[in-house]
Amino acid sequence: MKLPSPRGSLSSTLIDALNGGGSLAGVSVAPDDDEDLQLSLFVCYELAYRGWDGVDDAWEWDPGLLRVRAELERGFEERLHALVGVPAPADPSTVPQALLDIVAADDGPALSKYLRGQATHEQFREFVVHRSVYHLREADPHTYAIPRLAGRAKAALIEIQLDEYGGGVTGRMHQELFKQTMAHFGLDLTYGAHVGAVPATTLAVNNLMSFFGLHRARRGAILGHLAAYEMTSSLPNRAYGTGLRRLGGDASSTVFYDEHVEADAVHEQIAAHDLCGSFAAAEPELAGQVLWGARCALAVDNLWAQAVLDAWDSDHTSLRGWRASTTLCA
């Protein structure tokens, strides 16, 4: 993935350093705004995934960079607390039902309904661009939790992830299936190709998973996050598939969505009971963190969905500096 263009003074300093411009020791961590904060965090986190073109892999564990990342995470965490409150202790035996209640109480923006019945071809294409940042590495942030678990919870996570990774068949990996949807819209399929086009709200959706997944201390939150995703996936994906067919999508371009209608109806049960329920029983002091992670997942996704709908409502693009022609396949 190519390093993106900076969005403020901090991301500029960070990207310069990764490009060989020196150390980050002593750099003051004061992002200009949300765009600068979320992009800086995304740049730091990507070092723990597939990395940046031309950037030394050793940056992943550079003390100066980790200090910058930790300070950015403090800012991000404060925003999460303002959004959904702080994690509160919970009775571990109630975790599966509490997850169901959190999901049932979520009356987020009706993005899936809009995509099903009203979105234009161009709007659906924008939606695919936003989602590509996650779907091209779908499941990877949650995989970081596997070595942190044991017993039933670990087996349940692996059962879910095995489906996400296509049971070991490349063409069935959800990351690969999404490329078929992207190809339908003539989009560049390269991993991370559209990071520069998405706003802070989209980066925050992705940064949240990294923030939870990369820290062992937040292993409860990443499981709650996964459960919230699995438990709110089946119906929206049905709507996305229907919307795409309405716009001329064929079986190949809708397979990603169709696959999730079936798979996630099963995953939601495994996630709530076998994964989160077993985990909470094994580590009861983290039961509240599981629920907090689920609340964060829904709240941050809702902010993103609302921003997209607001942009479309006022006849604007939901992307940054978006020109359709610049993202066509070469």
* 287/158 Cα distance (integer angstroms): 20
Q: Which stretch binds Fe ion (CB under 5 A): 96-104, 162-170, 278-286, 321-329?
A: 162-170
Beta-ladder partners of 328 = 187
Tokens 């610049």, located at residue? 326
Residue 207 or 232 with smaller CB distance to Fe ion: 232
Query: Contact between 264 and Fe ion (CB under 5 A)?
Result: yes
Task: Report, in Å, the least distance between residue 178 CB and Fe ion.
Answer: 9
What DSSP string runs through 184-221? HTTB--STTTTGGGS-HHHHHHHHHHHHHHT-GGGHHH
Q: Can you state the angle between helices 219-231 and 95-105, rounded to 10 degrees?
A: 50
Amino acid at 48: A
Cβ proximity to Fe ion, 257 vs 312, nearer residue: 257
- If the CB atoms of residues 47 and 231 are measured against Fe ion, the closer one turns out to be 231
Q: Alpha carbon of 151 to those of 156, 163, 165: distances in Å? A: 9, 19, 21
- Which one of residues 267, 292, 298, 319 is an interface residue with Fe ion (CB under 5 A)? 267
- Kindly state the smallest distance separating residue 278's Cβ from Fe ion, in Å: 18
| Contacts of residue 139, Cβ cutoff 8 Å, sequence gap at least 6 | 161, 164, 165, 174, 175
Segment near Fe ion (CB under 5 A); pick from 151-159, 166-174, 248-256, 314-322? 166-174
Describe the crossing of helices 34-46 and 63-84 by its angle, rounded to 10 degrees.
130
**Segment lying near Fe ion (by CB under 5 A), choices 88-96, 158-166, 271-279, 303-311:** 158-166
Given the rule CB under 5 A, which of 91-99, 204-212, 262-270, 280-288 is the region that contacts Fe ion? Answer: 262-270
Question: In the bound complex, which residue of the shown chain has the CB atom lying closest to Fe ion?
Answer: 174
Which CB, 175 or 327, lies closer to Fe ion?
Answer: 175
Number of residues lying near Fe ion (CB under 5 A): 5
| Residue 76 CB contacts under 8 Å (≥ 6 apart), including other chains | 37, 41, 204, 207, 208, 211
Is 174 near Fe ion (CB under 5 A)? yes
- The beta-strand segments (E) located in 16-174 are none
- Nearest CB to Fe ion, comparing residues 29 and 298: 298
* C-beta of 140 vs 164, nearer to Fe ion: 164
Q: If you compute the radius of gyration of the chain from its CA atoms, what whole number of angstroms results?
A: 19
Specify the stretch interacting with Fe ion by CB under 5 A; choose among 21-29, 87-95, 103-111, 229-237: 229-237
- Decide if residue 164 touches Fe ion (CB under 5 A): yes
What residues numbered 197-226 form the site for Fe ion, per CB under 5 A?
none
Residues within the interface to Fe ion (CB under 5 A)? 164, 174, 230, 264, 267
